[in-house]
Amino acid sequence: MFSTSQSTPSPVAQTSWMMWVDGVGGFLVCTGTSVWLGRAVVEPRVDIPLAGDVQRRHAKLIWQAGRHALLAASPVKVNGRQVQELATLEHGDIVRLSDAVTLCYRQPPLLGPTALLDLICPARTVPWSDGIVLMGETLILGQSPAAHIVCSELSKALILVHRSGELFVQSARWVEIDGKRGRGLQQVAMGSRLVCEDVAITLEPRGI
Amino acid sequence: MIAQGTPVMRFTYASGTRPLDGYTIKRGIGVGGFGEVYFAISDAGKEVAAKRIQRNLDIELRGVRQCLNMKHVNLISLWDIRVTDFGETWVVMEYVPGYSLRDLLARHPQGLPEDQVRMWITSIAAGVSYLHARGIVHRDLKPGNVFFDSDSNVVKIGDYGLSKFISGSRRSGNTESVGTFHYMAPEIGRGSYGKEIDIYAIGVMFYELLCGHPPFDGETTHEIIMKHLTAEPDVTRIPLPYRRVIERCLRKDPAERYSDVSHMLMDTPWRPQSGEAVLAAAPWPDIEIASGAASPHVPTQWQPDPVAPVVAEVAGPVVIDERAAAEAEDAVERIRLRLDQGWQNHGGPSNVPQLAVPIHQDSLRASSIPREPIARFVYHSAHGLADWWHSLDWTTPWKVVLLVVIAITIIGNSTWILPSVLALGVLYAIYFGIRALIVKDAPAMPRTVYRPRATEEDFQHMVAQRLAARDWTEQAAEIAGSLLKGAIACAAFCALFLSIRGFSLGPEVVAVGVWAAIASTLMTWTVLLVTRLWSWQPGEWLFRMLVMGAAGAGLGLALYLAITRLVPEPQVFAVDRWSIGRSLNWASPQLASRFIVAVGVLFGVLRWWRLADPWRRNRIVIWRVAFGIGLAIGAGYAFGFESWLPWVFGVSIVATQLAAPWYYLEVKKMRYQHKLAARRGAL
């Protein structure tokens, strides 16, 4: 009847992908240990493609010694100070790539190494995303304002787990993955559709 | 189909499906009254919102077709209508990332700060004005249909697919009830309406933006509708400058509302030069973090945030400017604060630029906060004290005990407290009067700019404008003439009084008569000159009373000095009724202060500008004169001045009325001419 753009689920080979949450938003999730920020062009492909006046490969975020650090390939300022090669990031740091692209780095405390990058207008990602997630081991969707992604409809939290290159979902209630209903920790693949009582989520490998 | 039925957010199509040729669904955005809305990306990469029409197909489509080619920055663009092979109808339109006004209001139950209100209302007005100019009534304006595009920082109106053509002959076209009850004008129930219903809805949103709740609310739909039909909106919480506008938008009779959005805007204190100017250049308060200069007519432009220039200085290897560094820190802190408050970015509704609620309360209070610094200090202290009192964690009996102790303390020390309070009051009144004459505060009331159905006030306004347009020599002649009239009237009345009382014309009596004439003339002149500054428009009465009181206090001192110079020992002039002073010593400051207070109080309490009002119905308003003289008799008795105060004041009251310019007849004439013109136009 209708063809889906992604018919065969592939394992999580990609380091960044889109997570579409019905009624909530679209999120760019980066699962790699190093994440490139740069211009939204076909080649070179970066993890966080930005429509803004940035270089093709502008900066890289790496995970080292329990922290995110920023490696500047082009001039970057963190909290107004020029980054000399490498700067470790802390919750609330303002990262300025260019006149038009400013991000806020947030790592909600107590939720592990997963961090959020908040794009401050006017820059945007391609495609439009309502948030950028630098995923550590877990990504929490829930009602609580403390969750990484706040879904007011979701009565019980849904946790995505990224472990040694594979992706799982954990919930106290049933979750239907591509039509198969299950409980507890279940593996998911790229292109999967997750449906639970309150919300429906699709994981999509990035197109560009 | 895929994933049908299970989630609460029920969407027919899952991410990745292609129900509409050329577009891939990415996610569901929401489910509205007319169908599901999806975020989709075309094969070429265009991001769109695609709406699947499910119900009321006819209504919806008819409207959408009319609106396909509307282009306005404040309207959500419609790209296309498509019908699939399966018979499904899709409307493809602009995708607006961000949040709706409904979401924003939900987060601000106390209402929004005025600059944000201004941005929303001017933007909505611009979009609606564009629609009206193309003969389309939105019909379903409500906060859920107005969005803030967080990509381009623009307010956009959506769902104008419901709109219909205004047809001159057939205003009652579609009588189906569509829309949301809180924003529905009373005449919608009758099925006959025009663009006034949009003005009404804007008025409701205007009210809700300022207060946080709609003007007419109720438990049931029926209750809300009844209130729309019968209840008057409670505008006491609306800051003064907006009250008239909102009241006018919310009139029950559509003919009494503004006939055009631009007229409404011109009545707001945002004070446009012309309606067009406002609509073209929606003023852009920086609701984002930037506090730099806003670019007025390019709303889509990103305002460079203040970090940029400052940081450049800081980063330089040369010298660090400490102040710039501090500002940079501040700016960063502000961004951080905003993000901390509002980062639940995901989910749209929460992606709201947070402005702390206290700012708003301040702005709501702002209209009642005195502008004068001392009064403001007292006001804030009193509020602080009140807040402290309310927050006091005591039981009521203890509070009562505390109050009683305070009261006893005050009464026990009344001998010095009362006179000092009185003295402070008089000093403040004098200071306030002088300040009011020197410092010009911005006017509290917006001036009427436009009104199609003219009221008495409008005619007064028109006459006033004509009068104000006169040559300065004419105006000066008018002032000089009324002063002269006042002096002559005072002199004549004083002579009359002397002859009636049958004093023998000794030198002392003549001296007293001359003094009385001078006194009443001075009073009359003061009234004429001061009220001349305020004539033509209504103003705040408390402010005027204080100014007049201060002027009166000054006059009292002058009169005291004059009488002590003219008459060596005029015993008849004061009676020591209340034994305020132990002995009546003419040179004593105690008597001087009695003069000051007596004249000051009479000047302050009697609303003299009413006596000198150029629009008074009759040149001499009998009951005002009677009331004034009665007050003067009372004051004369109270202060022990009954031998002269009542008649000096009586004389100046009558003289003021005789001498003050009087233009009621002109207003009447103009109203008559307008009526004639209107009748001729109707024929």
CATH code at position B28: 3.30.200.20
Neighbours of B4 (CB within 10 A): 12
Least confident of B49-63, B110-124, B134-148: B49-63
Least confident of A27-36, B145-154, B530-539, B595-604: B530-539
- Tell whether B355 is covered by a domain: no
Residues of B in contact with A120 (CB under 8 A): 289, 305, 335
Q: Which of B3, B13, B16, B61 is nearest to B36 (CA)?
A: B13
Per residue in B428-441, pLDDT (tens digit) is: 888 888 887 776 55
Decide if B31 contacts B37 (C-beta within 8 A): yes
Q: How far is CA B383 from the centre of its chain?
A: 22
Residue B192, C-beta contacts closer than 8 angstroms, at least 6 positions apart: B171, B172
- Tell whether B374 is covered by a domain: no
Tell me, yes or no, whether B252 and B313 share the same domain.
no
Q: Select which of B80, B115, B140, B267 is catalytic.
A: B140
Q: State the total domains in chain B.
A: 4
pLDDT of residue B575: 62
- Tell whether B538 is covered by a domain: yes
What is the 8-class DSSP label of residue B86? T
pLDDT of residue B300: 31
Give the separation between CA B524 and CA B487, rounded to whole angstroms. Answer: 8
Decide if B186 contacts B164 (C-beta within 8 A): no
Interface of A with B in 134-173 (CB under 8 A): 145, 149-153
Q: Which of A125, A1, A135 is nearest to B2 (CA)?
A: A1
The share of chain A scoring above pLDDT 90, in percent, equals 43
Residues of A in contact with B40 (CB under 8 A): none
pLDDT of residue B617: 81
Q: Which of A96, A131, A202 is nearest to B315 (CA)?
A: A96
Give the separation between CA A94 and CA B330, rounded to whole angstroms. Answer: 12
Helix spans in B502-621 (H): 507-534, 541-566, 589-605, 608-611
Q: Which of B460, B511, B415 is nearest to B613 (CA)?
A: B460
Orientation angle between helical segments B456-468 and B664-682, nearest 10 degrees: 120
Please report, for residues B97, B285, B291, the alpha-carbon distance to residue B295 in angstroms, rounded to integers and kept in the order given.
22, 9, 11
DSSP string, B262-331: HHHHHHSTT--SSHHHHHHS------SS--S---TT-TTSPPPPTHHHHHHHHHSSS---HHHHHHHHHH
Residue B666, C-beta contacts closer than 8 angstroms, at least 6 positions apart: B463
Predicted confidence band of residue B202 (pLDDT cuts 50, 70, 90)? very high
What is the 8-class DSSP label of residue B456? H
Decide if B215 contacts B234 (C-beta within 8 A): yes
Interface size, chain A vs chain B, as Cβ–Cβ contacts under 8 Å: 169
Structural domains in chain A? Answer: 16-28+136-205 (2.60.200.20), 33-129 (2.60.200.20)
* Angle at B195 (CA atoms; ends B193, B198), nearest 5 degrees: 105
Tell me, yes or no, whether B215 and B78 share the same domain.
no
- Tell whether B352 is covered by a domain: no
Residues of A in contact with B9 (CB under 8 A): 22-23, 153, 198-200
User: Does residue B75 have a pLDDT over 50?
Assistant: yes
- Å from A146 to nearest chain B CA? 8
Structure tokens at A26: 């679209």
User: Does residue B426 have a pLDDT over 50?
Assistant: yes
Q: Which of B578, B573, B530 is nearest to B552 (CA)?
A: B530
pLDDT of residue B294: 33
Predicted confidence band of residue A143 (pLDDT cuts 50, 70, 90)? confident
Tell me, yes or no, whether B533 and B645 share the same domain.
yes
Interchain contact, B340 vs A92, CB within 8 Å:
yes
Higher pLDDT, B208 or B583: B208
Tell me, yes or no, whether B66 and B115 share the same domain.
no
Structure tokens at B138: 């939105």
Query: Which of B47, B151, B347 comes nearest A25 by C-beta?
Result: B347
Interface of A with B in 37-76 (CB under 8 A): none
Residues of B in contact with A72 (CB under 8 A): none
pLDDT of residue B291: 31
Interchain contact, B27 vs A82, CB within 8 Å:
no
User: Does residue A205 have a pLDDT over 50?
Assistant: yes
The predicted model gives B212-217 an average pLDDT of 90
Give the separation between CA A84 and CA A76, rounded to whole angstroms. Answer: 9
- Tell whether B675 is covered by a domain: yes
Interface of A with B in 91-110 (CB under 8 A): 92, 94, 96, 99-100, 102, 104, 106
- Å from A101 to nearest chain B CA? 10
Neighbours of A133 (CB within 10 A): 22
Given B280, B296, B315, which residue is the final one in a domain? Answer: B280
What is the 8-class DSSP label of residue B232? P
According to DSSP, the β-strands at B136-137 and B146-149 are: unpaired
Strand partners, B164: B137
Higher pLDDT, B611 or B120: B120
Domain carrying residue B541: 485-683
pLDDT of residue B152: 85
User: Does residue A20 have a pLDDT over 90?
Assistant: yes
pLDDT of residue B496: 81
pLDDT of residue B342: 34
Given B38, B63, B95, which residue is the final one in a domain? Answer: B95
Residues of B in contact with A150 (CB under 8 A): 344, 346-347, 350
Please report, for residues A182, B612, B623, B630, B662, the alpha-carbon distance to residue B617 in angstroms, rounded to integers and kept in the order given.
86, 11, 12, 21, 9
pLDDT of residue B544: 83
The answer to whether residue A90 neighbours chain B at the CB level (below 8 Å) is: no
Encode B59-73 in three state secondary structure: HHHHHHHHHCCCCCC
Residues of B in contact with A80 (CB under 8 A): 307, 310-311, 314-315, 328-329, 332
Q: How far is CA B610 from the centre of its chain?
A: 24
Encode B96-157 in three state secondary structure: CCEEEHHHHHHHCCCCCCHHHHHHHHHHHHHHHHHHHHCCEECCCCCHHHEEEECCCCEEEE
The predicted model gives B195-219 an average pLDDT of 91
CB burial string B138-168: b at 16+ within 10 A, e below: bbbbbbbbbbbbbbbbbbbbbbbbbbbebee
Tell me, yes or no, whether B663 and B550 share the same domain.
yes
The predicted model gives B660-672 an average pLDDT of 82
pLDDT of residue B436: 76
Tell me, yes or no, whether B31 and B89 share the same domain.
yes
- Tell whether B257 is covered by a domain: yes
- Tell whether B388 is covered by a domain: no
How far from each other are the two terminal CA atoms of chain A, in whole angstroms?
26
Residues of A in contact with B345 (CB under 8 A): 25, 116, 118, 130-131
Tell me, yes or no, whether B497 and B635 share the same domain.
yes
pLDDT of residue B680: 58
Mutation to test the B interface, candidates A3, A22, A121, A124, most B Cβ within 10 Å? A22
- Å from B58 to nearest chain A CA? 26
Helix spans in B353-471 (H): 357-366, 373-391, 396-412, 414-438, 456-468
Please tell me which residue of chain A has the smallest CA distance to B320: A81
Neighbours of B232 (CB within 10 A): 12
Structure tokens at B356: 């702390």
Neighbours of B530 (CB within 10 A): 22
Per residue in B628-661, pLDDT (tens digit) is: 888 888 888 888 787 778 888 888 988 988 888 8
Tell me, yes or no, whether B495 and B566 share the same domain.
yes
Predicted confidence band of residue A159 (pLDDT cuts 50, 70, 90)? very high
Higher pLDDT, B308 or B421: B421
pLDDT of residue B505: 65
Containing A181, the helix (H) or strand (E) segment is strand A180-188
Sheet holding B146-149, edge to edge: B98-100, B146-149, B154-157
Per residue in B442-489, pLDDT (tens digit) is: 443 333 222 234 567 767 777 777 777 777 888 888 889 989 999 999
- Tell whether B396 is covered by a domain: no
Higher pLDDT, B542 or B216: B216
Please tell me which residue of chain B has the smallest CA distance to A76: B315
Interchain contact, B16 vs A191, CB within 8 Å:
yes
Tell me, yes or no, whether B503 and B644 share the same domain.
yes
Tell me, yes or no, whether B134 and B260 share the same domain.
yes
CB burial string B631-669: b at 16+ within 10 A, e below: bbbebbeebbbbebbbbbbbbbbbbbbbbbbbbbebbee
Query: Which of A2, A26, A176 comes nearest B18 by C-beta?
Result: A2
Higher pLDDT, B362 or A121: A121
Predicted confidence band of residue B166 (pLDDT cuts 50, 70, 90)? very low
Query: Which of A27, A193, A196 comes nearest B346 by C-beta?
Result: A27
Three-state secondary-structure class, residue B679: helix
Give the separation between CA B500 and CA B281, rounded to whole angstroms. Answer: 70
Tell me, yes or no, whether B568 and B644 share the same domain.
yes
Query: Which of B314, B339, B340 comes nearest A80 by C-beta?
Result: B314
Q: How far is CA B77 from the centre of its chain?
A: 34
The answer to whether residue A9 neighbours chain B at the CB level (below 8 Å) is: no
Tell me, yes or no, whether B492 and B641 share the same domain.
yes
Q: Which of B520, B511, B639 is nearest to B503 (CA)?
A: B511
Given B298, B326, B341, which residue is the final one in a domain? Answer: B341
CA quadruple A65, A68, A72, A77: dihedral sign: negative
The mean pLDDT of chain B is 73
Q: What would you report as the CA-atom Rg of chain B, rounded to the nearest whole angstrom?
A: 34
B140 is catalytic: yes
Interchain contact, A77 vs B19, CB within 8 Å:
no
Burial class (CB in 10 A: 0-12, 13-18, 19+), B507: exposed
CA atoms within 13 A on the CB side of A177: 20
Neighbours of B524 (CB within 10 A): 30
Max Cα distance, chain B (Å): 115
Give the separation between CA B157 and CA B269, rounded to whole angstroms. Answer: 24
Interchain contact, A193 vs B14, CB within 8 Å:
yes
Interchain contact, A94 vs B16, CB within 8 Å:
no
The predicted model gives B517-545 an average pLDDT of 81
Give the separation between CA B399 and CA A183, rounded to whole angstroms. Answer: 60
The predicted model gives B510-530 an average pLDDT of 86
The predicted model gives B371-396 an average pLDDT of 74
Neighbours of B526 (CB within 10 A): 21
Three-state secondary-structure class, residue A45: coil
Q: Which of A153, A18, A124 is nearest to B31 (CA)?
A: A153
Give the separation between CA B627 and CA B187, rounded to whole angstroms. Answer: 46
Interchain contact, A5 vs B24, CB within 8 Å:
yes
Neighbours of A6 (CB within 10 A): 17
Give the separation between CA B153 and CA B73, rounded to whole angstroms. Answer: 11
Interchain contact, A131 vs B153, CB within 8 Å:
no
